Amino acid sequence: EILFYANPGMLQAKACDNAQIQLNFPAYELSTVDDALKQEISQILPWEIVDIFKTQRDVLVCIREDQELASWHPSIQDIPGHIEGGLLVTAKSSQPEYDFISRCFFPVFGIDEDPVTGSAHCALAPYWAKVLQKNSFRALQASPRGGELGVVLSLDRVLISGAAKTFLSGHIVL
C-alpha cells in the first residue's frame, strides 16, 4: 500500500489479490457550466450533448452514441485552451460488459489523449451513479491503447481498479 498526499487530498494505491491495482481517490463535485462554454464545446463535438458539467478543472460531456465516441478522431487544437484541465467525453455503453465508456483529452498539459485516466473517473463515477442509479461500474476508456476499469463510488471516495504493468522496480531508503 502506498499513500500520496496531493492537492485533491489523500490518494491511496494498493495491490489486490487478482493482480490488479486499486486506487482510492476523492470523488469530484460536478457543477453546471455556463451557456457560452456549452456552446463552445458543442462546436467541436460532432454529436448532440446529453449532459455537460465541470469539476474544478475538467469539463465532462455525455453523448448518446458510444460507438461514435470510440471511433472519433478529434482535432486536438479545437479543444478550448481556456479549459483548465481536460475534456472528458463519455457515453452509456452499448456493450453489455461495460456500463459506460470514456475518452479523455488534456492538451493544456501537453497530453492529446490520456490512455487510461484515474482522475477522470473521480468525475465519471458520481455522474454515472446519478444516471444509472448504482454505485459500482465496469468502465472502458476507449483510447487507442484503452483500458478496462472497475469503478466504485463509496460515499465521497472513488475506488478504481485495473490491471497494471511493472515499469520500474526498486527500493526507497527512508
Write out the three cell numbers for 65: 452514441
End-to-end CA distance of the chain: 16
**Whole-prediction pTM value?**
0.89
**Which domains, ranges and CATH numbers included, belong to the chain?**
24-163 (3.10.310.10)
- d(CA 140, CA 84) in angstroms, rounded, equals 24
89-109 pLDDT per residue, tens: 999 999 999 999 999 999 888
Alpha helices in 20-174 (DSSP H): 35-44, 66-71, 121-132
Distance (Å) of CA 164 to CA 2, 26, 31, 147, 160: 15, 21, 32, 10, 12
pLDDT digits (tens, 9 = 90+) for 21-80: 899 999 999 999 999 999 989 988 889 999 999 999 999 999 998 888 988 888 888 787
Of the pLDDT bands very low, low, confident and very high (cuts 50, 70, 90), residue 129 is: very high
